[in-house]
Amino acid sequence: MDMHTGWNENRALLRGTAAAAPVWSHETHGVVYELFPLNVLRLSGAADRINVIAPRPLLEARPVEAGAPVEVEGEVRSFNNRSGRGSRLVITLHARDIRAGVGPDENRLTLAGALCKPPVLRRTPLGREICDLMLAVNRRYGRADYLPCIAWGALARCCGELGVGDGVRLDGRLQSRVYTKVDQGLTEQRTAYEVSVMHLETFSEEPEVLYTKPLHAAAKLDMI
């Protein structure tokens, strides 16, 4: 259930509770896709609400009902929203497999690709260091997903030294964050999605060389 092209990789496993039943999302190449929100609890008790896209045949074979525990395995996808409404970069979890959720909530990603924007190292209002990254991960058939990532503390400082084109492999989780957007005097609540990085390594562009340079083995803290 992974996407691996050269040194590109995209694997996700999320376990949580379906917040609603699937509804029609879109149709492409004759296949209908449906969407449902998945709530995944953090250790703090807060929940990340992740939109899951799944082909209808998969949902017919493994139905999802509101309130049911669900485990989803697949890939993190992005697309540009040109409608002028909502967030411009839309992040979803593209399901390859769905099964009944057994055990505590889980939110685990492994991504590998190249940085496509310069990292931005900054501080939060409380003085905590944070680094914003944009990771490009190629799909099998030529397109790429552009995934916003954040790193904290010592890992953020290391990430701030990276540059555009650097190859990285990371482990983390997909999280949601509600924010307020003010546009022409109108206030709107939106949800942003980003990958919270727990561990990151750099490596060579040449797959046959494939060396790794651990930057920081971050503890799996419950970042907020």
Statement to judge: residues 60 and 115 lie in one domain: no
* pLDDT reported for residue 65: 97
* Same domain, yes or no: 78 and 176: no
What pLDDT shows up at residue 79? 85
Per-residue pLDDT of the chain (224 residues; tens, 9 = 90+): 344 445 689 999 999 999 999 999 999 999 999 999 999 999 898 999 999 999 999 999 999 999 999 999 999 999 886 655 656 789 999 999 999 999 999 999 999 999 999 999 999 999 999 999 999 999 987 789 999 999 999 999 999 999 999 999 999 999 998 888 777 778 888 888 999 999 999 876 554 333 344 554 443 333 33
**In 3D, which of 159, 139, 173 has the Cα closest to residue 201?**
159
Query: What's the CATH number where 193 sits?
Result: 2.40.50.140
Can you give the pLDDT at residue 223? Answer: 38
Q: What is the pLDDT of residue 183?
A: 75
Does a structural domain hold residue 12?
yes
Residues 126 and 206 placed together within one structural domain of the fold? yes
Query: How many domains does the chain divide into?
Result: 2
- CB neighbour list of residue 13: distance below 8 Å, 6 or more residues apart: 71, 72, 73, 106, 108, 109
* Amino acid found at 66: A
Do 120 and 98 touch, CB atoms closer than 8 A? no
Q: Can you give the pLDDT at residue 207?
A: 41
> Does any domain span residue 209?
yes
For the entire predicted model, the pTM comes to: 0.84
Place of tokens 């084109």: 165
pLDDT at site 211: 39
- Last residue of some domain: 59, 88, 104? 104
Residue 91 is which amino acid? I
Nearest 10 degrees: CA dihedral of 121, 144, 71, 152? -10
208 shares a domain with 118: yes
* The pLDDT value given to residue 32: 97
125 and 203 inside one domain? yes
Domain that holds residue 161: 110-217
Q: Reduced to 3 DSSP states, what percent helix, strand and coil does the chain have, rounded to the nearest 5?
A: 5, 60, 35
